[in-house]
Structure 1
Amino acid sequence: MRGQVLGVDQRTGEGLVAGDDGRRYRFTPEDWAQRGEPAIGLHVDFEAEGDRALSVFAMPAAGGVAAARHPAPREPASDRNKIVAALLALFLGTLGIHRFYLGRTGSGVVMLVMTLTVVGMLVTGPWALIDAIRYLVMSNREFDARYARD
């Protein structure tokens, strides 16, 4: 039977194939019958036994070339800038403005309320400084993944 790989767990190597018959079949790394690893979107040929896909082979693409792998899904890009967040944390950080900017409203309110007291200022000052340093040290990819809008 033929089908298409729907997903593969990178830790265990187990995967799921959508068969041309409309059913889904599980496979394990032992069922993958060729070198290389399965990839999402890869067209495959396999033997079906119950809900299992056995002897799973990648289908060659047109012209005998190995089937093209689909690129991994892109991580969400953030519309927020880590430099702006760091500057807000440095200059207005005790008020929690950088937290509001990044969509962390709850902690922004906590910082704003704590700033009303002297003891709270002693807490929010270092908190904001640590946040600013974290934003600057964090990679763009990690920043985008963490602070992207849902």
Structure 2
Amino acid sequence: MRGQVLGVDARTGAGQVAGDDGRRYTFGPDDWADRGEPAIGAYVDFETADTRALSIFPLPTAAQAVAVPAATPPRPRTDRNKFVAAIIAFLFGTLGIHRFYLGRTGSGIAMLVLTCTLVGLIVTGPWALIDTIRYLIMSEDEFAERYRR
């Protein structure tokens, strides 16, 4: 009879085959007659005894169904480091240098111009401190997504 391997326990080698007759058959590691291990989705030829599959051989010409894990999307990449940005923001934040580092030239120029006035210094100080904290608590993926070039 022919069928398809439904599952295999990696620890024990026991598994289950769905036969072409619509029934399910169990097998043990001794029932696998080929070198190697049974693969989930493999099409096989086997003999039956009640609910057991015996002398199981993989079919070499049949297309093998292979379970492919779902592809994870690639992580966004950036050439900037969030810790470096946080240190620059903490040390030189009122000048907006961390903004230039991250490619945010417009807000960097705004911070630099505001720093030249006393009122602007009162604004850019907390702004830089908030940026420092925000960079440190932001996840790596979020930082890379937001500040990639």
Instruction: Note the C-alpha offset of 1:125.
Output: 0.1
Instruction: Note the C-alpha offset of 1:91.
Output: 0.5
Look up the match of 1:64.
65
Q: Which structure 2 segments of 5+ residues have no match?
A: 1-62
Aligned-partner Cα distance in 1 for 2:76–2:141: 9
Look up the match of 1:106.
106
Look up the match of 1:77.
77
Look up the match of 1:130.
130
Pick the structure with greater CA Rg.
2
Aligned-partner Cα distance in 1 for 2:98–2:84: 8
Q: Which structure 1 segments of 5+ residues have no match?
A: 1-61
Instruction: Note the C-alpha offset of 1:74.
Output: 1.0
Q: How does 1:1-150 map to 2 (within 5 A)?
A: 62-66=63-67, 68=68, 71-149=71-149
Residues 14-51 of structure 1 show CA distances to partners (whole Å, capped at 9, x for unaligned) of: xxxxxxxxxxxxxxxxxxxxxxxxxxxxxxxxxxxxxx
Residues 85-117 of structure 1 show CA distances to partners (whole Å, capped at 9, x for unaligned) of: 000000100000000000000000000000000
Whichever residue aligns with residue 65 of structure 1, its letter is V
- What's the TM-score, normalizing by structure 2? 0.55
Aligned-partner Cα distance in 1 for 2:145–2:76: 6
Q: CA RMSD in A?
A: 1.7
Aligned-partner Cα distance in 2 for 1:89–1:64: 53
Aligned-partner Cα distance in 2 for 1:136–1:96: 17
Structure 1 moving runs of 4+ over 4 Å: none
